[in-house]
Structure 1
Amino acid sequence: MRIYISADMEGVTGLVDADDVQPDGRDYERGRLMMAEDVNAAVRGAVAAGATEITVNDAHGPMRNLLPEFLHPAARLIRGKPKHMGMLEGLTPEHDAVICVGYHSRAGALGVLSHSFMGHEIEDMWLDGRPVGEIGLAHATAAAIGVPVTVLTGDDCACAEMTECDASVRTVAVKYARDRFAADLRPAEEAHAAIEKAVTFSLSTPPKTSAAPATPTTLRVRWQSASVASTLLGIPGVTSADSRTVQAQGTLPGLYRLFGVWMRVAASLTNQAPYC
C-alpha cells in the first residue's frame, strides 16, 4: 500500500500565529518540530495499517520546513521548491490514499491562519463556481489523478470545510478556532494519538478510485491586486472576469499546475508579507 502525505503547517497542533509558521518568526523553529510530530503521527498510523511506501511532501511556504532528521524513518521526503505540482508534488495514480496534515480553511473563513495559498494576495477562488481554497483544490486534483483523500487534520474550520467538500474524508481537529490568530488547543499528545488512530482506521479499507474522466473545469481567482490580474492576461487561455479576477478552463491536474504558474507570477509582482 502506497500512501501520500501532503503536509501544510498552519493547521498543525499548537500553532496559531504567523510567528509560528514563517521562517523569520520567533517561534518558527518550535513550529517546524510540531509539524514533524503531526506528520510522524500520520506516518505511524499508515505503518500500522500496513503501508509499504510512504511519501511526505513538505507543502508549506518555502517547502523546507520539515527537517529530514526528525521525520519518521518509514517515510521519504519531498523538500524544496519550485515544484510543478506544489502541494501535491509527487502524487501519482499508483498511490492508494492521500492524507492532508496541517491544512487550514480558505480565505475569508474565520479559521486559524486562514488564507488561500498566498496570504492576503488571493481574496477568493472558485472551481466550477464553487468556492474553494487549498482543501477543495487539492481534493479535486487528487480525485482527477485517481487517488482519494482519506484523512485531513487541521483546526475545526478546516475539518468542516473538508466535510462540506467530501463527507467521506475522516477529519481530525487538533485545535478549535477562537479567531484567526487564536485557538483552543487540543493537548499535543492527545492530538497525535487521534491523528494516528484516524489514519490507521481510514486505511484499513482504503477506497481506491479510478481517475475521473478528464472534463473541462473552470478555475477563477480574485486577486487583491489588479496588477496581478492584468499581467496574468498575457498567459494564453487566461481571461478576465473583472479588473481583479481571472479565469481559465482546462482539465485537472493540468489546471492545478497552471495555477502554480499564476502564483509565481503574482509573487514576482508583490512584496507583501502574508497574514496582515
Structure 2
Amino acid sequence: MRIYISVDMEGVTGLVDAEDVQPGGRDYERGRSMMAEDVNAAVRGALAAGAADILVNDAHGPMRNLLPEALHPAARLVRGKPKQMGMLEGLTGEYDAALCVGYHSRAGAPGVLSHSFMGHEIEDMWLDGRPVGEIGLAHATAAALGVPVVALTGDDVACAEMTAWDASVATVPVKYAHDRFAAELRPQEEAWKAIEEAVAAALDPAPPRPSASGAEATLTVRWQSASVAATLLGIPGVTADDSRTTRATGRLPDLYRQFGVWMRVAASLTSQPPYC
C-alpha cells in the first residue's frame, strides 16, 4: 500500500500564532519540531496498517519546515519550492490513499490561523459554486486522480470543514479554536496517539478508491487586490466576475496547477504578510 501525506503547519498540535509557523518567528523552531511529531504519528499509523511506501510533502509556506533528520525513517520527503503542484506535489494516481496533516480552515472561518492559501490576499474561493479552501481543493484534486483522502488532522473547525466536504474522512482535532489566534490545546501525547490510531483505522481495511475523473470544474477566487485580478486576465481562459473576482474552468488537477500560477502572480504584485 502506497500512502501520500500532505503536511501543513497551522493545524499542528500546540500551534496557535504566526510566531509558531513563520520562519524567524520566536517559536518557529519549536513549531517545526511539533510539525514533525504530528507527521511521524501519521507515518506510524500508516505503517501499522501495512503501508509499504510513504511520501511526505512539506506543504507549508517555504516548504522547508520539516527537517529530514526529524522525519520517521520509513518516509520519503518532498522539500523546497517551487513545486508545480504546491501542497499536492508528488501525488499521483499510483497512491492508495492520501492524508492531510496539520491542515486549517478556510478564509473567514473562526478557526486557528484560518486562511485560504495566501493570508488575507485571497478573501474567498469557490469550486463549482461551493465555498472551498485548502481542505476542499485538496480533497477534490485527489479524488480526480482516483486517490481517496482518508484522514485529516487540525483544529476542530478544520475537522468540521472536512466532515462537511466528505463525512467518510476520519478527522482528528488536536486543538479547539477559541479565536483565530487562540485555542484549547489537546495534550500532545494524547494528540499524537489519536493521530496514529485514526490513521491506522482509516487505512485498514484498504479504503475504496474514487473513480479518476476528467470532468471539468470551475474555480472562482475573490482577491483583496484588484490589480491581481486585472493581471490574471492576461492568462488565457481566465475571466472576471467583477474587478476583484476571477474564474477559470478546467480539469483537476490541471486547474489546481493553474491556481498555483495565479498565486505566484499575486505574490509578485503584493506584499501582504500571511497573518495580520
1:237 equivalent in structure 2: 237
2:275 equivalent in structure 1: 275
Superposed displacement of residue 271, structure 1: 0.9
Residues 51-92 of structure 1, C-alpha deviation per residue, up to 9 Å, x if partnerless? 000000000000000000000000000000000000000001
1:191 equivalent in structure 2: 191
Q: Which amino acid aligns with 1:218?
A: T
Report whether the alignment pairs 1:20 with 2:10. Answer: no
1:78 equivalent in structure 2: 78
1:49 equivalent in structure 2: 49
Distance 2:211 2:79 in 1: 26
1:178 equivalent in structure 2: 178
Instruction: Please say if residues 10 and 16 of structure 2, whose CA atoms lie closer than 8 Å, have aligned partners that are also in contact.
Output: yes
Superposed displacement of residue 208, structure 1: 3.3
Distance 1:43 1:162 in 2: 20
Distance 1:252 1:15 in 2: 32
Distance 1:234 1:157 in 2: 36
Q: Which amino acid aligns with 2:102?
A: G
Residues 213-259 of structure 1, C-alpha deviation per residue, up to 9 Å, x if partnerless? 31121000000000000000000000000000000000100000000
Superposed displacement of residue 275, structure 1: 1.1
CA RMSD of aligned residues (A): 0.6
Superposed displacement of residue 210, structure 1: 4.3
What SS is found at the alignment partner of 2:219? strand
Distance 1:236 1:36 in 2: 40
Distance 2:204 2:249 in 1: 37
Superposed displacement of residue 187, structure 1: 0.3
Superposed displacement of residue 206, structure 1: 2.5
Instruction: Please say if residues 152 and 171 of structure 1, whose CA atoms lie closer than 8 Å, have aligned partners that are also in contact.
Output: yes
Instruction: Please say if residues 151 and 198 of structure 1, whose CA atoms lie closer than 8 Å, have aligned partners that are also in contact.
Output: yes
**What TM-score does the superposition give when structure 2 sets the normalisation length?**
0.99
Q: Which amino acid aligns with 1:76?
A: R
Instruction: Please say if residues 107 and 115 of structure 2, whose CA atoms lie closer than 8 Å, have aligned partners that are also in contact.
Output: yes
2:144 equivalent in structure 1: 144
Alignment of 1:87-98 (within 5 A): 87-98=87-98
* Aligned residues between the structures: 276
**What TM-score does the superposition give when structure 1 sets the normalisation length?**
0.99
Structure 2 gaps of 5+ residues are none
Distance 1:59 1:39 in 2: 12
Structure 1 gaps of 5+ residues are none
Instruction: Please say if residues 150 and 206 of structure 1, whose CA atoms lie closer than 8 Å, have aligned partners that are also in contact.
Output: no
Q: Which amino acid aligns with 1:209?
A: R
Segment drifting more, 174-183 vs 197-206: 197-206
Distance 1:111 1:186 in 2: 15
